[in-house]
Amino acid sequence: MPHFLEKLLLALKDGPALSTAALDVDQVDPKVALIVKTSGSTGNPKSVLLTSQSLIASARASHQYLSASPGQRWSLLLPTTHIAGINVLVRSIELGTEPVGVDSQAEFSAIVPTQLHRAVHSDRQLLEHLQNCRAVLVGGARLDSELKKRAQDLGINVITTYGMSETSGGVIYDGKALDGVSFQIIDKHIALRGPQIAYGYLEGGFPIKDGWFITSDLGFIQDGALVVEARADDQIISGGENISLSAIESYLQSEYSNPEIVAFAKSDAEWGEKLCIATTSNIALDEIRSKLTNRFGSHTSPKELVRVSDIPYLSLGKPDRRKLSDDHS
């Protein structure tokens, strides 16, 4: 980690750009400090170009929101191939400290919902670590409201974040924009503006309109807060009906107390897309259909149940729905 931190420090100080993938950094604009690959959960992965100004603006806005002080520490529980892990390093640099692991005390941490689920249900060491943090940022995927409440009841100060590689990580905390960030809804899509926005894509085609970064995510504004209705990798249309994959799997995971249940879609001539469920458990399809129909309506009745030995995950802990679809098509 110290060597990686040194390279990141150089990149932030106008040194050679740092890339999380095998790319020729000499080809990029000298303004670029970091090239980070998106997860590819909604299509082909893109190479996001971030400047040192964007990364530092992200860290400082986060610290302002959290009332963080120099000398305080972050725990690094996410891979540094992802913007969320990189952000922990940049925040640590800003506070003059080095990140620690789950076996050490930290004031702040950042995790994904899968990790929070494990902390609440099975991982005692992680639970105690998060309980001792002043604040725990949870992002990268939809956070189930019941899981959040359970974690809060256990003494974890959960802050739900929204952001992506293109925004240097989270820019919305608990529905509120960080300092310097603005949001609005353009054609039902969430649009963001602020110093954290990326320089562009290495491949080109960055979705900027009148200074606003137009995300692929759907949302609305309620009482001044941003509500993320559906992430781009979450929503499918089956037989003309919109279905949230994360809402389906969060409900089933809660019903069966099992995180190894994933909703995914497969192309279908009749339905356009058909809802499928993958699980490592011995659950009956008819039982799942009954539960989902009673909870969400008949349009959420899955067409197929796939039993797998292991759920495939992307680097940040998101289920790899594309792989499930490809492997079982």
Domains detected in the chain: 2-229 (3.40.50.12780), 235-327 (3.30.300.30)
pLDDT value for 24: 64
Dist. CA 204–CA 114, nearest whole Å:
32
pLDDT value for 44: 66
Dist. CA 58–CA 49, nearest whole Å:
14
pLDDT value for 239: 82
The Cα-based distances of 134 to 110, 137, 160, 320 in angstroms read: 11, 10, 14, 31
Q: Is 322 helix (H, G, I), strand (E, B) or coil?
A: helix
pLDDT value for 143: 84
Q: 3-state SS of 189-256?
A: EEEEECCCCCCEECCCCCCEECCEEEEEEEEEEECCEEEEEECCCCEEEECCEEEEHHHHHHHHHHHH
Each of the 329 residues of the chain gets a pLDDT tens digit; together they read: 567 778 888 888 877 788 877 666 667 788 899 999 886 554 567 899 999 999 999 999 999 999 999 999 999 999 888 899 999 999 999 999 999 999 999 999 999 888 998 899 889 999 999 999 999 999 987 788 888 999 999 999 999 999 999 999 999 999 999 999 999 999 989 999 999 999 999 888 899 999 999 998 889 999 999 999 877 667 888 887 878 898 898 899 989 988 899 999 998 877 888 999 999 999 999 999 999 999 998 989 999 999 999 999 886 777 888 899 999 97
pLDDT value for 39: 65
Beta strand residue intervals within the chain, DSSP E: 18-19, 32-37, 47-51, 74-75, 108-111, 135-138, 158-164, 169-173, 176-177, 182-186, 189-193, 200-201, 208-209, 212-222, 225-230, 235-238, 241-244, 261-268, 272-279, 304-307
pLDDT value for 235: 80
**How many CB atoms within 10 Å of residue 272?**
14
pLDDT value for 9: 82
Dist. CA 322–CA 1, nearest whole Å:
31
pLDDT value for 307: 95
